[in-house]
Amino acid sequence: MPLKIIRQDITKIKCDAIVNPTDPFFSHGGGTDEAIHAAAGEKLYAACIAHGELKVGEAVLTPAFDLPSKYVIHTVGPIWYGGASNEESELRACYSSCLTLALSNKCESVAFPLISSGTFGFPKDRVLKIATDVIGDFLLAHDIFVYIVVYDKDSYAISEKLFSDVESFIGDNYKDIDMSFCSPLLTEDASLRPLKNRKTKSYPSATCTCPIPTPNLDDMLKNLDCGFAETLFRYIDERGISDVDCYKRANVDKKTFSKIKCNKNYKPSKVTAVSFAIALRLDINETNHLLNTVGMSLSRSNKFDVIIEYFITTGNYESIFDVNEVLYKFDQVTLGV
């Protein structure tokens, strides 16, 4: 099942479990911890202290009480001391412990905040990278729907270098085409002005004596190119990966993949098709070939497409979640289903 980055109040999410970043003594002193306790009610604190002291990287589960989720998973994130005090491995342990605990309690969905990115001072871009790495690896082996929840844009960050690189690429390649002259609301003179002002050059006519073959529709219909499903599975075979690895890397759920596999005429959305292209690490020509099978292509007039082209042409990503971080930052739809 996929990983989604969403902007929402974690106390309002309806899922099996939400994760609460707390301190060793469950003192719910501020931030997300305080908000979760306030929404859950007084019984949550009593359930927490029954577990005793909690160490950094560990996780415990309690009922969610008045929250819309079933459970709250509490974990203690590391305080940031500059990066030389084992903070990154401790943060990885937090995400891993919570995922393992959710799975062992038969949770099918879990929502995470960016642990330690608030008062504990962990750099937000590093938290995001660690979270997507750990969750992404976990999802390759297990089926569970995971949300990374950010409250607002200020609580979300990607690498400044990556952001600058993508922003520069968009600036160089994104063509925001002005189609206003095509508007039916314009007068006839205004709509024709671009054509009237265009300088044209006349050329002498040439007579071609070569016979032009008449296309035969029956022959054309007998020689259709391969459809999306056949093309996708050919690329999967060429890359030497399993079907399961493919749809998990694509952040696509099993149900959608089964539809593609069972229906050779299935036409996915552009986002789904691009998700498979990224998962299979297709080059730009292969990506457009896959998209062409459902009548689509990457365009320089679409910011989403330009960002996808950046990652494909630079190969500057390890997983689909790296791409999604940037798409989210630029207010674009993220990949997967």
> pLDDT, tens digit, for every residue of 272-317?
999 999 999 999 999 999 999 999 999 999 999 999 999 999 998 8
Q: For residue 12, what are its two tokens? A: 């309002």
Catalytic residue set: 33
Most confident of 143-152, 197-206, 264-273: 264-273
- In this structure, which amino acid lies at residue 31? G
CA distances for 127 relative to 17, 232, 281, 317, angstroms: 20, 34, 25, 17
Structure-block tokens of residue 207: 């007579």
CB 32 within 8 A of CB 20: yes
pLDDT of residue 176: 63
Domain with CATH 3.40.220.10 in the chain: 3-157
Give the pLDDT mean for 256-285.
93
Write out pLDDT tens, residues 184-196.
433 344 443 444 4
Dist. CA 322–CA 133, nearest whole Å: 9
The span from the CA of 253 to the CA of 87, in Å, is 32
Percent of the chain's residues with pLDDT above 90: 62
- In the structure, what pLDDT confidence band is assigned to residue 183 with cuts at 50, 70 and 90? very low
Residues 96-137 pLDDT 10s: 999 999 999 999 999 999 999 888 999 988 998 899 999 999
Q: Where are the alpha helices (DSSP H) in the chain?
A: 31-40, 43-49, 87-104, 124-141, 160-173, 188-196, 217-222, 228-239, 243-249, 254-262, 270-279, 284-292, 303-314, 320-329
Distance CA(56)–CA(78), nearest Å, equals 6
Q: Would you say 120 and 106 are in contact if contact means Cβ atoms under 8 Å apart?
A: no
Within 10 Å of residue 320's Cβ, how many Cβ atoms? 28
Does the domain formed by 3-157 have CATH 3.90.226.10? no
Count Cβ atoms below 10 Å from residue 15 Cβ, excluding itself. 21
Q: pLDDT tens digits for 196-251?
A: 444 444 545 555 566 666 676 666 555 657 889 999 999 999 999 999 999 999 99
* Confidence check: pLDDT of 337 > 90: no
**In the prediction, which pLDDT does 223 show?**
60
- Nearest CA to 48 out of 36, 62, 64, 34 is that of 62
